[in-house]
Amino acid sequence: MGRRLYSALLYALSPLIWRRLRREHLPDRPRGERLGRISSYQDERVLWVHAASVGEVITARPLIRSLIDDYPEHRVIVTTMTATGARQVQTLFGDLVTHHFVALDFPGATRRFVQRLNPEIAIIVETEIWPNLIHACAMAGVPVAVVNARITERGFARYQRFPKLMGQAIRRLAWVGAKSAEDGKRFRALGVSARRLNVTGALKYDLHLDEAVFEAADALRETIGPRPVWVAGSTHEGEEVQLLEAHARVLARFPDALLILVPRHPQRFDEVAELCSDQGMSVARRSDDAVVEPGTQVYLGDTMGELMMLYAIGDIAFVGGSLVDIGGHNLLEPAALGMAVVSGPSLSSLGDVAATLEEANARIEVSSGAMLGETLVTLLLDDVRRDTLGRNAWAVVEANRGALKHTRDYLGRLIRARELHEPWPLMDDQPPGSQR
C-alpha cells in the first residue's frame, strides 16, 4: 500500500475516526487542532515532542525536563493523541511546555500542522510512525527522531505487511534511539540504516524521583497509620474484579489492610468506585479529599499525576494491565521506589523490562486474583522476602540508568546541525527532506 492509497483509506474512514475521537476531546480545546489548525510559531524556536498517551508522556518526562533545561531559548511543545495524555502533560509540566493535540494523519492536516509548528526537530516517543506526518516533516526539512523506540512482534509483522508505505516513512527518520537490541534489529529490518540507529536503552529507567513525591506520600501514610497497604496501579476493566477478590483474601488474614486502587483511565473512576461498593468494600475517594478511616478498605486514587506518590505509600505494588490482555504498564515506577513488584502475565508491551526484573528476583508473576491474594498474604507475612524483592528491583533500575544521557547527546547533534544549517548527522547521504 502506497501513501496515496493509505490517505484515501483514511478519508473513507474519517467518520469512524471522528467518532472514536469524541472521547479524546477536552472541552476547552478547539477540535480544529486535529486538522492542524493551531497557532503559528513561525517567530519562535520550537522543539516538538510527540507522546501519544499517558504512558509515553511519563516515559518522556525526564527527556522533556532536559529539553526545558538544556534549551531555555526554545519553546518545548508536547503533542498527544489522547485526552488523558493531555491531562498528564498539564499535571507534570504546567506552563513549562505548550500542549496541542497532534493532527490526524490526513495529508493537508499534517502539512498545515508542521508549517504552523515550524519545529527545529520532531521527537517521537516510542513508536508513532504516521506516514503523512513524517512526510510533512520531510518536506519541511524537519529532522524526525524516534526515542525509546520499540516495535512489538505484532507491530513488526504489521509494518512488514505494508513495506512500501511504512518503509518510506521509516527510511525518512533522521535517528532512532532503540530501547533494546531486539528493537534495534527490527528497525534495521524495516529499513533504518546502521548510521541512523543506536541502542540507547530504555528511558523508563531514568526516572526522576521528586522529593515532593516522598513528602506527600509520608504525609498521607501518616494519616493512614500503621496498617498493611498494597497498591494496584494503572488498572483496567476486567482487572479490578480480580484485584478486589485478591483484597478480600488479604482482609481475611489482615482485617485492617488497605488497597490503594488507581484505575488507568479517568472516565472509569466512577465505575470503579461503584464496583468496590458493590463488592462490599468501604471506599474513600482521593478526589473528594476523603479521610482514610480505620474501617476504609479501598482508597480510590481517582486523580491524575499522583501514581508515583500513591505507590510510595504502599508495602507492595501490583502493576495493572497485566491480568487482562493489555500488555502491562510501567513496572519500573514501583521498582525505582524499592517496592516488591507483582504483575500478571500479560506483559507484551514491556517484555524486556519484565524479564530483567524476573531474572534479578525483583518481580513476582501471578495469573489470577486468587493467586494474587495468596501472594500478597505471603509477602505481608515475610518482611525479609518483601524487602529483598524491593532492594533487587531498585538495583535493577539503578544499574540500567543512562538512556537519557545518550538520547540527549544524539538529539543535541541533530539540533545543532539544524541551527548551523549543516547536513544532518548520522545520515547516509542527504536529509530526508530532499528525497521527493
Cell 521527493: give the residue. 436
120 as an active site residue: the answer is: no
Q: Which three cell numbers stand for residue 298?
A: 479501598
> How far apart, in whole angstroms, are the C-alpha atoms of residue 226 and residue 317?
17
Q: Which three cell numbers stand for residue 228?
A: 498493611
The 3-class secondary structure across the chain, one letter per residue, is CCHHHHHHHHHHCHHHHHHHHHHHCCCCCCHHHHHCCCCCCCCCCEEEEECCCHHHHHHHHHHHHHHHHHCCCCEEEEEECCHHHHHHHHHHHHHHCEEEECCCCCHHHHHHHHHHHCEEEEEEECCCCCHHHHHHHHHCCCCEEEEEECCCHHHHHHHHHCHHHHHHHHHCCCEEEECCHHHHHHHHHCCCCHHHEEECCCHHHCCCCCHHHHHHHHHHHHHHCCCCEEEEEEECCCCHHHHHHHHHHHHHHCCCCEEEEEECCHHHHHHHHHHHHHCCCCEEEHHHCCCCCCCCCEEECCCCCCHHHHHCCCCEEEECCCCCCCCCCCCHHHHHCCCEEEECCCCHHHHHHHHHHHHCCCEEECCCHHHHHHHHHHHHHCHHHHHHHHHHHHHHHHHCCCHHHHHHHHHHHHHHHHHCCCCCCCCCCCCHHHCC
To the nearest 10°, the Cα dihedral for 262, 333, 179, 349?
-30
Which of 33, 56, 128, 240 is an active site residue?
56
What residues are annotated to the active site? 56
